A and B are shown apart, each in its own frame.
Chain A
Amino acid sequence: MTCGCCIIPEDILLRFASDPELSDAARQALHHTAEISGQIRALRQQNAALTLTALRLPLPRPPIPFPLPHVLPAAHVFDCHHTTALPGVQVANPGSSPDGPIKRAYVESENVAKFYWDNFKRDSIDGNHMTLVSSVHYGVKYNNAFWNGAQMTYGDGDGQIFLDFTLGEDVIAHELTHGVTQHSLGLAYSGEAGGLNESMSDVFGSMFRQWEKKQVVTKADWLIGADIMGPLSKQKGFTCLRDMASPKSPHAMAPQPDHYYPGIGNLDPHYSSGPPNLAFYKAAQAIGGHSWEKAGKVWYTALTTAPPMPNMTMSKFAARTRKLSTSLFPNDPTVHNAVDAAWTAVGL
């Protein structure tokens, strides 16, 4: 038999592997498949740790030549068919699929890659043309989307509290940015670094949404998850998951603090990301224009031009952006003044 380790849950493989009605050869093959399945899972879990270790090695890294015109990295989309086995079955020609989530996962992943290339000259998640892998139709009415260290995964939502997660451009950019963070500062998912990690994903998620709409900062809504709010959520007055401009707002389903305080790193990263989210909003508003042109460049450079610092504190990240706002824009002091004032306003 062929290996179906990516499609069939391990418990089912093991159940069949003990079925006396199957031939010895078939049971043996099922045992092997289950073993491979477990190894693949372990391999994926080690992926993030491996990335971090590799980035820390003192190996010379020649500059990556920028191919012009740039060819976007490949984007592969897999269909989980409502199971929770990743990655699922690969979809041929996802860009022309009649299935909305499949097509959106493909098109928007490519658009996020274009956003990172056009604005920051970053070639894919890892800066080295990495293939973008997305799985859709994960689980049954699954109410979440996530990055697992190697790929993006999107649920369909239950249609009441959340809609299909691929409907949010910011959702897709948020998840892909977790990959960018993994391949740059390598921020952890706990402590103050966890809050920064989540904030990076919200910042670049919102920035991407604005870039797609060609919005200036004053026209943007700065809401995270606005496009996936279901009818029940809206009925209860929730217009988004988080509001970068007003983290405490009651219309956010998950309100956040708007000011830093010692100990904030002990809390959930989606909560502690409030102050750095607000700092980016304030800096971008004070600078004006398009968020990705100046504020975005400062944040991107702060995220990607240092060795991995998994436990970076918020104050250290703020200090990096303050310094970079001057070195990147030496003839435009309004950028430094805006960045400095923004962090000061949130207590950093």
Chain B
Amino acid sequence: MREISIEGFGGFVGAGGPASHVHQRGRLDWSALSAADQAGLDRLFAEQARVDANLFYRLTRVGAGGTETVDALPDQIPPALLASVQTTLD
């Protein structure tokens, strides 16, 4: 894996909607994550569990095999990755 990106959807703010001016995105090099975090994320991507929640994050990682995406709840996400999220206005 080279890197992982994260985008927030929902919550009170509801960032990421079609016409929204507010976005909540972040990214980290895969190597910046601990081995335990990488293993936890590997499980998330493998499980591909459906998320039906008020707030969720879309994780996308890029590796030699291509791009993978999975939706996750805040407490499933390593704090370091969650902390990379920056809020921006356009």
A9 to B82, CA, bound (A): 13
CB distance from B20 to the nearest CB of A (A): 4
Q: Is the beta-carbon distance between B83 and A140 smaller than 8 angstroms?
A: yes
Give Cα distance in the complex from A171 to B20, angstroms: 18
Q: Is the CB of B17 within 8 A of A254?
A: yes
With an 8 Å Cβ cutoff, the count of chain B residues facing the other chain is 34
* Complex alpha-carbon distance, A140 and B53, angstroms: 22
User: Chain B CB within 10 Å — which of A11, A41, A145, A242 has the most?
Assistant: A11
Across the interface, do B19 and A189 meet the contact criterion of CB distance under 8 Å? Answer: no
Interface string of A140-174 (1 = CB under 8 A from B): 10011111110000000010011001000001001
Pick from A58-66, A263-271, A338-346 the stretch touching chain B. Answer: A263-271
Given contacts A86-B75, A148-B55, A268-B18, contact A174 B12 (CB under 8 A): yes
Contact between A144 and B34, CB atoms less than 8 A apart: no
- A271 in contact with B19 (CB, 8 Å): yes
Instruction: Tell me the minimal C-beta distance from B40 to chain A in angstroms.
Output: 7
Q: Give the number of residue pairs across the A-B interface with Cβ within 8 Å.
A: 124
Q: Is the CB of A162 within 8 A of B53?
A: no
Tell me whether A301 is interfacial, beta carbon within 8 Å.
Answer: no
**Which residues in A have their C-beta under 8 angstroms from that of B34?**
11, 15
Q: Does any Cβ of B come within 8 Å of A245's Cβ?
A: no
Residue A241 CB within 8 A of the other chain: yes
Tell me whether A316 is interfacial, beta carbon within 8 Å: no
Asked if B73 and A148 make an inter-chain contact with CB atoms under 8 angstroms apart, the answer reads yes
Residue of chain B at shortest CB distance from A310? B52
B12: contacting residue among A85, A144, A232, A271, CB under 8 A: A144
A270 touches B89 (CB 8 A): no
Q: A243 an interface residue at 8 Å Cβ cutoff?
A: no
Query: What string of 1s and 0s marks CB contacts (under 8 Å) between B57-90 and chain A?
Result: 0000000000000000111101100110001010
Report which residue of A144, A165, A238 has the largest number of chain B beta carbons within 10 angstroms of its beta carbon: A144
Q: Mark B25-54, 1 if CB is under 8 A from A, else 0.
A: 000000000101100100000000000111
Partner of A267, one of B17, B36, B74: B17
Give which listed residue, B12, B15, B87, contacts A145 with CB less than 8 A. Answer: B12
A139 CA / B8 CA spacing, docked (Å): 14
Q: Which residues of A contact B12 (CB under 8 A)?
A: 144-146, 165, 171, 174-175, 225, 241
Given A11-B34, A84-B74; A269-B53 close (CB under 8 Å): no
CB pair A270–B83 under 8 Å, yes or no, is no
With a CB–CB cut-off of 8 A, which chain A residues contact B53?
48, 148-149, 189
- Interface residues of chain A, those whose CB is within 8 Å of chain B, are 9-11, 14-15, 41, 44-45, 48, 83-86, 139-140, 143-149, 158, 161-162, 165, 171, 174-175, 178, 188-190, 198, 225, 232-233, 236, 238, 241-242, 253-256, 267-271
A-B contacts besides A84-B79, A178-B54, A254-B13, 13 pairs, CB < 8 Å: A86-B75, A144-B24, A145-B12, A145-B13, A146-B10, A148-B53, A161-B89, A162-B13, A198-B14, A254-B15, A254-B19, A254-B20, A268-B17
Q: List 8 A-B contacts (CB under 8 A).
A: A10-B36, A11-B40, A145-B13, A148-B74, A158-B87, A189-B54, A233-B89, A271-B17
State the 6 A-B residue pairs at the shortest beta-carbon distance, nearest first.
A270-B14, A146-B55, A144-B11, A268-B17, A146-B11, A254-B20
